Copies of this chain bind each other. A is one copy, B any other.
Amino acid sequence: MNPTKPSIVALITDFGLQDEYVGVMKGVILSVNPQARIVDVCHAIEPYGIVQAGQMLASVTPYFPPETVFVVVVDPGVGGERDILAVRREGVVLLAPDNGLLSVWRDDWRSTDIVRVQQTRYFLSRVSRTFHGRDIFAPVAGHLTLGLPLEELGPPVDPRRIQRVSVPMVRIGGQGDVRGTVIAVDRFGNLITDIRSEVLSELERRQSKGEWRIEVREKSIHGLRSFYGEVDRGKPLALIGSRNTLEIAINGGSAAADFGAEAGTAVLVRTSR
């Protein structure tokens, strides 16, 4: 084993931190590879929040070292018929249940990317039907950090057969407006939307003279800013946030509280001359 090779496992779950579930997974990973470095990306995914987990994955994978093994356990179907998939893509490895999560991360898959995890020799010797995070995901992740080839885990999977969740892609509408949604509220009360910066760039190209207007609930914000401190304390603003999507914030305050907004709230962007 190359001592400077990163053996990083990055965890995304809906387990929270009040129970022992995440800690036990780490014990199992370290039982297989005592040199693994385990990073908690997020354990506060809403229970069964498949879409939320897939969206978070998309925003974090570019920031981890090559060969990082992501383990995503948001798994309402645990113990039933659903498969567990292992994929290699964009330099990282990923373990996740086959419940549509992968399709939220990326929607184009090749048959060489995905295997079904079924080689029980890499599982714990006793597998429960309620906690595959501990009994399957964790030990398999440990083995993957030790260099186990994906193909050892099981047969390739036809990408047309994996589960898909339909997450509508936000685009410019017929009226030249963009209708999106708040997909997350962060600790600061910032409203993270699903409106990608590319869509706003396209809108700008089309209507370069117009003024931006962002509407949330009954309120509206004019213009797009670059950083929070660009407006006075307590004032609202819209900007492209760290996920590279439209974000609505209050400088030094909470947009969620001020706008009465939450995940699911509609956001409208239009330009007017």
Contact = CB atoms under 8 A, between A and B. Distances in A.
Interface of A: 1, 3-6, 8, 10, 14-24, 26-28, 30-31, 34-35, 37-44, 47-48, 56, 59-60, 63-65, 68, 76-80, 128-131, 134, 184, 186-188, 226-230, 239-242, 247, 251-252
A228 B34 contact: no
Nearest to A128: B242
A30 B37 contact: yes
Nearest to A64: B27
Query: Which of A3, A28, A31, A247 is packed against the most chain B CB atoms within 10 Å?
Result: A31
A39 B26 CA distance: 7
A10 B34 CA distance: 13
B187 A47 contact: yes
A228 B76 contact: yes
A26 B41 CA distance: 8
Contacts of A65: 27, 30-31, 34
A18 B44 contact: yes
27 contacts: A6-B30, A10-B23, A15-B187, A17-B42, A18-B42, A18-B186, A19-B44, A19-B184, A22-B40, A24-B41, A24-B59, A24-B60, A24-B63, A27-B39, A27-B41, A27-B65, A34-B37, A76-B229, A78-B228, A79-B227, A80-B228, A80-B229, A128-B240, A128-B242, A129-B226, A129-B227, A129-B239
B15 A78 contact: no
Nearest to A36: B37
A23 B60 contact: yes
